Amino acid sequence: MGIKERIAGLNWAGISNAMDNKGYALVKNVLTADECDALSSQYADEQLYRKTIVMEHHQYGLGEYKYFKYPLPMLVQQLRESVYPKLAPIANGWMQYLNKEQRFPDTLEELLHRCHEHEQLRPTPLILQYTQGGYNAMHQDLYGEVFFPMQLVFILDEPGRDYEGGEFILMEQKPRAQSRAMVLKPAKGDMLLFTTSYRPAKGSTGYHRVNMKHGVGEITAGKRRSMGIIFHDAK
């Protein structure tokens, strides 16, 4: 089954419910092992990338990541195009909950057109690599005035076999309350969808905005690679 058919066949009602209630959804076995290995093997092909970031040079953490350039690899492009229309209704529901006028278009093409009108022209899908001692500090991937409030990541190596540590961390920051960390351990090929910046949370007087950041815990052994898909382009 092709990746578009796999994405279409996922339990999007359940994913929507998880995104609304927790700000993330973990979906098992979306990519095959061969697809993960193919993405990992492309890490050394510099012709695929527009920029390499050495994280410690910017105090982002310890590791390295590379942004793909256009045209994106077919698998990355298909994932970006097929997942976005499933998330746009969830994102627009969030805007309604928070009484925001902003609405997101139905297709990725329309979202990117909006980005380009704001001089956000650079693609943001990327591959990240960490070795022992590596980590990613808590952050948000915004890149400009136009940003989509959800993104996703695929783990390309198997925890417990290829690496130890390296948990995915989401940090929830509620107004006038202490922060809460959610520590996740996706397996190879799993798709983790999560909020880019904030989500609506229901309280006693209605919905309020909860800010969220994400990062990666320290890799204690081995090598951990992942592929992230951000839907908006960068300035």
**What is the Cα–Cα distance from 87 to 76, expressed in whole angstroms?**
16
Q: Are 157 and 43 in contact (CB under 8 A)?
A: no
pLDDT, residue 208, reads 86
Q: What are phi and psi of 45, to 5 degrees?
A: -90, 95
Rounded CA gap, 194 and 142, in Å? 13
- Helices vs. strands in the chain: H and E counts, helices first: 5, 14
- Other Cβ atoms closer than 10 A to 14: 11
Taking only the tens place, the pLDDT of each residue in 152-165 is 999 999 999 999 99
Q: Which residues contact 142 (CB under 8 A, 6 or more apart)?
A: 196, 197
pLDDT tens digits, residue range 35-77?
999 999 999 999 999 999 999 998 899 999 999 999 999 999 9
* Residue 37 backbone phi and psi in degrees, to 5: -65, -35
For the entire predicted model, the pTM comes to: 0.93
pLDDT band at 85 (very low <50, low <70, confident <90, very high): very high
